[in-house]
Structure 1
Amino acid sequence: MDCTIFAWGWMLVSSISIRLSSSGFKSSAIPRGERSQNCPRPSVLPHRQQTRSTPTAAHRASERAQLSVTEKMAERQQQKHEGRVKIGHYILGDTLGVGTFGKVKIGQHQLTGHKVAVKILNRQKIRSLDVVGKIKREIQNLKLFRHPHIIKLYQVISTPTDFFMVMEYVSGGELFDYICKNGRVEDSEACRLFQQIISAVDYCHRHMVVHRDLKPENVLLDANKNAKIADFGLSNMMSDGEFLRTSCGSPNYAAPEVISGRLYAGPEVDIWSCGVILYALLCGTLPFDDEHVPTLFKKIRGGVFYIPEHLNRSVASLLMLMLQVDPLKRATIKDIREHEWFKKDLPGYLFPEDPSYDATVLDEEAVREVCEKFECTESEVVSSLYSGDPQDQLAVAYHLIIDNRRIMTQASEFYLASSPPQGSFIEEGMLLPPGVKPHPERMPPLLADSPKSRCPLDALNTTRPKPLAVKKAKWHLGIRSQSRPYDIMAEVYRAMKQLSFDWKVVNPYHLRVRRKNPVTGNLVKMSLQLYQVDNRSYLLDFKSIDDDIMEAVGFKSGSSTPQRSGSTAGFHRPRLSIDSASPAIDLPQLSSSLPGSLSGSSPLLAARQGSHTMDFFEMCASLITTLAR
């Protein structure tokens, strides 16, 4: 009986092995560069044992496990051959194009179903250009960009061989192909697209990013023919020689200072390229074009180009300003915005009075959709959004849902949807990251200007006291930023690590930091607390902590509420003068809350205080300098 079972099992295993071999599922059949990180390399099937001993129950269980693994590998291999390569939560599909460092493929989020464009940056190519560190830092900056006419970068997935940049997907193709297919566009349509492009370029220039490779190939169109600029921040990290080699071999859009070999890479370079794009939109051709490269360079350096008769004088004058050979005489973004042709029917959302885009107001419907897709709780989604982890899958899915829901035919709604409501965000129930406190010096003006205080019925109630009209302070203590809270703290952690500071986390937005003075050997301590100043900005506040002084005046080390010191006025907070039209606000003084005064302290303590104050300021200066880099 045992021999019969053994023979039957032997035939079954042999039959399966033969079928697997004939199917051609081999490890070498899969290109190495396209292997999914979630699909492990198939292992070689174990050789059949030559000894024909009676199989035990353990042997049969082992055989069944091997068969199960083999079936799973075959299924994964079949998905691979069907083109379903999976990177993270994204299933890659067809190739959309070939970029400077690799391919661009279409991807689909496995759970939300939204389409994305996945750009693959080859590590070896990046390493050969010696720009690995710069690209990593620039990618982090690009992930903060939120503008209706800039391709969004949602996530970066890193593997041993490649970087995968998960970006916004648009279906309209390149502006270059659109012009080649349709020829020159109407004046009104060209103005609309050009306004969108200039708005995006101005946004990036204000964030200290220069494109340096603007051309119709890098301007994409969505389904509603709205412009989307791509590839920001990558080309500006290369030298000018590399720019010519990596710009599809065509210098037609390069400024004269670039092709002349002068190492110049400021905003003027982008203005020139935008002028070439505007000319291509209006004329369907390029202002400087010649098959003979030296002749082409001569034309660009001369700045002489043909102006067709169908162009009106207004737009022709704008082209002359933008295509000035001398970069100092070339038009600026401000000059373009003030030009009469550009200002015609200019949408207000392109250049808002307050250009800060804030995403601190959470979309409850999007949060619920993430919870449904990932089977998680709302608190987990909110925690992920404020965690500071740019790779968090819940946060990425949330932003995907938000961006895909926006209807870009009414582009003005983009700014309203991404900006917080004016007025009191506390009374309206705005969610703040845990640990971020409203700044006590800045909250009264915001509350006084709340929507409830501006109710029309209040004007009819003459007995009701009017709210105090307190204006915003003209100065503040600390570092102010309009970035998101976890992005601010991420930079703080980076700077502290670079300076070899030691720190203790009280909460994600409150730290106790210390360092050892290399000269005196004293330990210098301070507290960092992130405050919310108003509905668009945050303040990183510095507090000095001196355990010796705290103990001398009645406080013990390790107090849960460390007091402020280290200011130029000793232990006294300054009197903050707001404006001559409003009463001055007396800020609380630390000495009034302490059981004793330092005025009668010993000379040793006074010397210790002064030494600690200088150490504190040196510590603050080093941290601020590192943050500014």
Structure 2
Amino acid sequence: MEEPIARLRLGEFELGQTIGTGTFGKVKVAVSTKTGMTVAVKIISHSIIKRLDMAKKIRREIENMSRFSHPHIIQLYGVVSTPSDIFMVMEYASGGELFDYITKHGQLAPEEARRFFQQIIAGVNYCHKHLVVHRDLKPENLLLDQYNNVKIADFGLSNMMHDGDFLRTSCGSPNYAAPEVLCGNFYCGPEVDIWSCGVILYALLAGTLPFDDDSIHALFKKIKAGIYFIPTHFDDEVSNLLQMMLQVDPMKRATMQDIIGHEWFTTDLASCLFPNSNETSNIVDVSVIEELSKLYHMPEAEITTALLANEANDISQAYDELIKVKRAVSDQQSPSTRNNSLHLDLGLAGLSLFGVGSPGSNSSSYSTPRPRLDASPLSEPLASPARSTRKAAKWHLGIRSHAKPHEIMGELFQALKRLDYEWIIVDPYHVVVRKKMRPGMSKAPNIGLQLYEFRSSYYLLDFKSLVEESNSPTSTEQSSPSDSMVDFEGLDVKELQDDISAYITPRGSTLPFFEMCTELLSQLIK
């Protein structure tokens, strides 16, 4: 009699077949032995992380994914670090890649393409509102669940948008990359995602890419010039939207609100994608509370209390899973049946995702932020379909000028002298300034002033609020090797999220920062 094959275990999860393999590791399906719930587990070896110098990439992916809880973004349930590997436990999307779906079906009907595109934009909009730019949006990184709903995945090339920062890294796949990325120019971030979304929309409707060529040189030339062909079966509305999104000049490119308010986009738009502000303020779904009460044999009041604790626990995880399924089912039903009560037997009673640790350990190696109870903005209310004259999006605080760089910096130093500010010169076009401390004065913030070439002979003097080194989550990272396994030992997703929040909005420094900016701007425009 043959002995049963030993299965690899990760806490309560039994790892199954490999569903994806790449340079950075592999992805396996895993099933909870307690509840039968299926998840995806991304496994990355510490040796690969060290050899390919990937520590920052993996940490960035974990940090950014830990911030999200959205129906169209793959949910990160937690992270487990062992001496040999990192395990990222994530939501499982059984439908495969959108790329394979397009390859199989070719050009999609406008209604189906629009539904996919609406979900993609809802997810990307959510990322941008949480100050994260994906930078590698393409059909291969868009997964489908069992209901054919889009799930944005792979945040390894994503980046945080800090106040005043411009990005310059060339990321992503060439066919989907914006012209400014290929040129190596500075960019804010959201506009490169919008370009990629435009390319994806074209691919959904045409079954081919707008920019494609066997020669990389020729491909880059087409993208930089914005040369593409619009098929005759595209209607006028979607052609107009594509032209807005595939503008070579990022300042003229459509903004997220332009897209959300466009006539083609708003047709048959599901209300749950961009709920009104009064809808997002509803803390819990009563029907889901009732279902959880039955599953856990607990009073509804106790269920609600557990959710409002804003902590990772079995009930909060089960609540999120029920919400996701309810939304998916609602999306598939006719309007006449959508108000029926929720009766779902998902086997979620006793769900214990938060006891996962290294095999043989009873302690948890990770926790997950409570995702849905803080009423964080999924989006702003829908814009009116009627578009007004669009203005270029401004993602900076500062002054733009056609003057020569040395003249701009000369005026800046004169203004700093008149204000009696102190400064440190980082380089000829980058200084850090502050008010001189005097008795009785509260501590003033430090401001970074940096001059960028925005366009040819057009410069931006950017103002940035600087965070104290001790508060910055990067301070400790800089003091240790980036490829060290220690970077991931005891990694806690919730702590990472708290660190990021503290870095973006240091408490109590916003008003003094703007007061100093006002003083400086007043001097510069005299």
Same fold (TM over 0.5): yes
User: 1:85: how far off?
Assistant: 1.3
Match of 1:252 in 2: 175
1:362-511 paired onto structure 2 within 5 Å? 363-364=288-289, 367=292, 390=312, 394=314, 398=318, 401-402=321-322, 405-411=325-331
Change (3 A) 1:124 1:325: farther
Structure 1 portions without partners, runs of 5+: 1-18, 24-74, 414-485, 489-533, 538-610
Match of 2:36 in 1: 113
3-state DSSP of counterpart to 1:154: strand
Matched, 1:330 2:253: yes
Paired amino acid for 2:37:
H
Counterpart selection for 1:101 from 11, 24, 27? 24
User: 1:228: how far off?
Assistant: 1.5
- Please give the per-residue CA displacement for 1:16-67, whole angstroms capped at 9, x wherever unaligned: xxx9xxx9xxxxxxxxxxxxxxxxxxxxxxxxxxxxxxxxxxxxxxxxxxxx
User: 1:377: how far off?
Assistant: 11
**Separation in 2 of the partners of 1:162 and 1:94?**
18
Aligned CA RMSD, in angstroms, stands at 4.1
CA contact (8 A) 1:153 1:166 kept: yes
Matched, 1:226 2:103: no
Change (3 A) 1:88 1:265: farther
Change (3 A) 1:358 1:90: farther
Match of 1:145 in 2: 68
Change (3 A) 1:169 1:306: same
Paired amino acid for 1:289:
D
Match of 1:569 in 2: none
Matched, 1:264 2:187: yes
Match of 1:478 in 2: none
User: 1:114: how far off?
Assistant: 1.1
User: 1:398: how far off?
Assistant: 2.8
**Separation in 1 of the partners of 2:301 and 2:45?**
37
1:70-85 paired onto structure 2 within 5 Å? 78-80=4-6, 84-85=7-8
Paired amino acid for 2:143:
L
Change (3 A) 1:92 1:276: same
TM-score of the superposition, structure 2-length normalised? 0.57
3-state DSSP of counterpart to 1:124: helix
Change (3 A) 1:399 1:139: farther
CA contact (8 A) 1:142 1:233 kept: no
TM-score of the superposition, structure 1-length normalised? 0.49
Match of 1:628 in 2: 505
Paired amino acid for 1:408:
A
Match of 1:578 in 2: none
Counterpart selection for 1:192 from 115, 125, 131? 115
Match of 2:137 in 1: 214
Match of 2:430 in 1: none
**Separation in 1 of the partners of 2:323 and 2:13?**
17
**Separation in 1 of the partners of 2:43 and 2:78?**
12
Match of 2:77 in 1: 154
**Separation in 2 of the partners of 1:357 and 1:150?**
21
CA contact (8 A) 2:60 2:158 kept: no
**Separation in 2 of the partners of 1:288 and 1:159?**
43
**Separation in 2 of the partners of 1:361 and 1:212?**
34
Counterpart selection for 1:165 from 80, 88, 94? 88
- Please give the per-residue CA displacement for 1:498-542, whole angstroms capped at 9, x wherever unaligned: xxxxxxxxxxxxxxxxxxxxxxxxxxxxxxxxxxxx9858xxxxx
1:46-61 paired onto structure 2 within 5 Å? none
Paired amino acid for 1:285:
T
Paired amino acid for 1:213:
D
Which of structures 1 and 2 has the bigger CA Rg? 1
Match of 1:575 in 2: none
User: 1:277: how far off?
Assistant: 0.3
CA contact (8 A) 1:370 1:397 kept: no
Change (3 A) 1:412 1:613: farther
- Please give the per-residue CA displacement for 1:533-583, whole angstroms capped at 9, x wherever unaligned: x9858xxxxxxxxxxxxxxxxxxxxxxxxxxxxxxxxxxxxxxxxxxxxxx
Deviates more, 1:269-278 or 1:394-403: 394-403
CA contact (8 A) 1:366 1:398 kept: no
- Please give the per-residue CA displacement for 1:199-245, whole angstroms capped at 9, x wherever unaligned: 111111000011100001111122222211112364437986673xx
Task: Report sequence identity in percent.
Answer: 49
- Please give the per-residue CA displacement for 1:130-189, whole angstroms capped at 9, x wherever unaligned: 563674465245234222211111121221222211111122111111111111001111
